[in-house]
Amino acid sequence: MRVRWIIGGVIVLSAAIWAFSSFNTSLTAYVSFAEAKERDNRVQIIGKVTHDDVRYDTDSLLLVFDMLNDEGDMITVVYAGSMPGNFDQATKVVCKGQYRDGRFQADELLLKCPSKYEGES
């Protein structure tokens, strides 16, 4: 009886590990900064906004900022469009676009916002 449970457990666990590892690369739609620099098609990148150097030109509607990812890479993003209202509070952003001329030219921004459900306003 006990042997059967152990064998069953091992089968279940190895199936899970196999399923997980085969999903591993396809589970995320975001590419690394290094990959974004090499690719010449439209990709999505995700990272933290370093808020200390955000430049926004209201006349030409150009938003320039630096992004840092988990691997510690930096990339400069240029977003052509008006700055989203809650950009200042955004911790993480997703940028969709293409790497050109040393900068990531984004045409779409998705913002992650603070997730502290405090209940005080």
Residue 5 found at the interface with another protein (CB under 8 A): no
If one asks whether residue 80 binds another protein (CB under 8 A), the answer comes out as no
Residues 49-68, mask of contacts with another protein (x by CB under 8 A): --------------------
Contact 67, 94 (CB under 8 A): no
Identity of the residue, 28 or 76, whose beta carbon is nearer to another protein in the bound complex: 28
On whether the CB atoms of residues 70 and 63 are closer than 8 A, the answer is: no
Pairing of strands 92-100, 43-57: antiparallel
The region of 34-42, 52-60, 84-92, 97-105 touching another protein under the rule CB under 8 A is 84-92
Least CB distance from residue 117 to another protein, whole Å? 4
DSSP H helices in 1-121: 2-23, 33-38
Q: Give the whole-angstrom CA distance, residue 52 versus residue 66.
A: 9
Bridge-based pairing of strands 103-111 and 62-68 is: unpaired
For residue 58, the minimal CB distance to another protein (Å) is 19
Name residue 92's beta-bridge partners.
48
Residue 94 makes contact with another protein by CB under 8 A = yes
Q: Give the residue, chosen from 7, 10, 16, 61, that forms a contact with another protein under the rule CB under 8 A.
A: 16
Tell me the two tokens of residue 40.
Answer: 């010449």
Residues at the interface with another protein (CB under 8 A):
12-13, 15-16, 19-20, 23, 27-30, 44, 46-47, 69-70, 84-86, 89, 92, 94, 108-121
